[in-house]
Amino acid sequence: MARGSIGLGKLVGIPIRVDLSWLFIVVWVTWSLASGYFPARYPEWPETLSWGMGMLSSALFFGSVLLHEMGHSLVARAQRLPVTDITLFIFGGASQIAEEPRNAREELLLAGAGPATSLGLAAAFGLTHLAVRSLSEPLGAVALFLAGINLSLGLFNLIPGYPLDGGRVLRAILWGARRDVRWATRWASRTGRAVAGLFVLFGIYQASTGDWVSGLWVLFIGFFLDGASRSSYQQLTLRQLLEGHVAAEIMAEDCQVIPPQLSVDTFVEHYLVGEGVRRCYVVGTRDELVGLLTPGDLQKVPRDRWMTTRVREVAMPVERLGVVAPDTPLWTALLQLTAEGVNQMPVLDRGQLVGMISRDRLLSLIRRLSELDP
């Protein structure tokens, strides 16, 4: 789904993907453990041991982040919310859950599951450390590092800044208290931006005391949180606005069906010039769609080749467009349009073309809905 990520297969039926930025994290964690953290604490270790334990810790850290996300995903699945995939990226992970929780309780469980998993892992690694440190110093050291990192992971995610898990927990509590999801979202987002502002201020303070490396990191996290908080608020507002609306409401039904064998020349003469420009032209038949034709596609064909080029050769093939059904929720349709990077998408009902949805129509609906509901 996400660009620049690779699939690692499935875990209990959920596709796991890794963003390429994770390669950087794995190398960075291994390197800083092997050349800094371990040698500083255990100077008597041979270099190969430090590197070996660095790699082991890095792998277990990866597993810990994955388990944090599995925590969210398994709760989502128990609530029958569809989980598309889990992607691990530079700031940790993200579970792609295709629907929003239906009530405050679900949201609380869903958001809390990740930090709870991390804190549980911290406790488990802490106990492992106590159990193995007298048997093996290196394994004890690895367990101690993982206890610490999982504790930080759990606590960092509990910071009440939307869209961090803690922000979602806050939203769930506000939602439960006032039974108004929009109000809850607005305040969770404001809290998120305030927290981000504190990070920025603290980063500037740290940099001013001379510790500019940590300062820049904190500043960077602050800006990232602020951006994430703003965009996820906009996304939620949009999602709430579109809730209950389906593709059939905005689809253009006056699509002209063009026979695939028609030449570009005839198409322009009879359909474009002859009948006036319509909203959409589909190539194929009502039962068998070949593709979609936009005036832009025609410009790619030199004029002297109009007579010899068939419309099916210039149409955007249907396999590249993706399709929706009349009852597809508009939010899902919007995600699909964005994922496929297209402006229009055919609406099929039991294999039959019934219309076409477009970004333009979706945007004008959003405009109308937001005027009604400021």
Structure tokens at 146: 């993982």
Asked if residue 114 binds Zn ion (CB under 5 A), the reply is yes
Burial class (CB in 10 A: 0-12, 13-18, 19+), 174: buried
Structure tokens at 74: 């398994």
CA distance 260 to 162: 50
DSSP 267: I
CA distances from 277 to 68, 213, 250, 309, 355 (A): 53, 59, 19, 20, 16
CB atoms within 10 A of CB 277: 9
Q: Please, what is the minimum distance in Å from the beta carbon of residue 97 to Zn ion?
A: 11
One symbol per residue from 62 to 101: x for binding Zn ion (CB under 5 A), - otherwise; what is it?
----------------------------------------
Q: Which is nearer to Zn ion, 91 or 306 (CB)?
A: 91
Q: Between residue 178 and residue 217, which ones bind Zn ion under the rule CB under 5 A? A: none
Q: Which stretch binds Zn ion (CB under 5 A): 149-157, 197-205, 210-218, 231-239?
A: 149-157
Residue 6, strand partner residues: 18
Q: Please, what is the minimum distance in Å from the beta carbon of residue 186 to Zn ion?
A: 22
Size of the site for Zn ion (CB under 5 A): 3
Q: Does residue 163 have a cis bond before it (omega within 30 degrees)?
A: yes
Q: Which is nearer to Zn ion, 110 or 321 (CB)?
A: 110
Q: What's the sign of the alpha-carbon dihedral 293, 279, 329, 3?
A: positive
Q: Please, what is the minimum distance in Å from the beta carbon of residue 63 to Zn ion?
A: 15
Q: Please, what is the minimum distance in Å from the beta carbon of residue 157 to Zn ion?
A: 5
Q: Which is nearer to Zn ion, 196 or 282 (CB)?
A: 196
Asked if residue 107 binds Zn ion (CB under 5 A), the reply is no
Asked if residue 165 binds Zn ion (CB under 5 A), the reply is yes
Q: Which is nearer to Zn ion, 86 or 337 (CB)?
A: 86
Q: Between residue 27 and residue 56, which ones bind Zn ion under the rule CB under 5 A? A: none
Contact at 8 Å (CB) between 292 and 283? yes
Q: Please, what is the minimum distance in Å from the beta carbon of residue 118 to Zn ion?
A: 8
**Extended beta strands in 190-308, E state:** 256-258, 281-284, 289-293
Q: Which stretch binds Zn ion (CB under 5 A): 21-29, 153-161, 173-181, 220-228?
A: 153-161
Sites of contact with Zn ion (CB under 5 A): 114, 157, 165
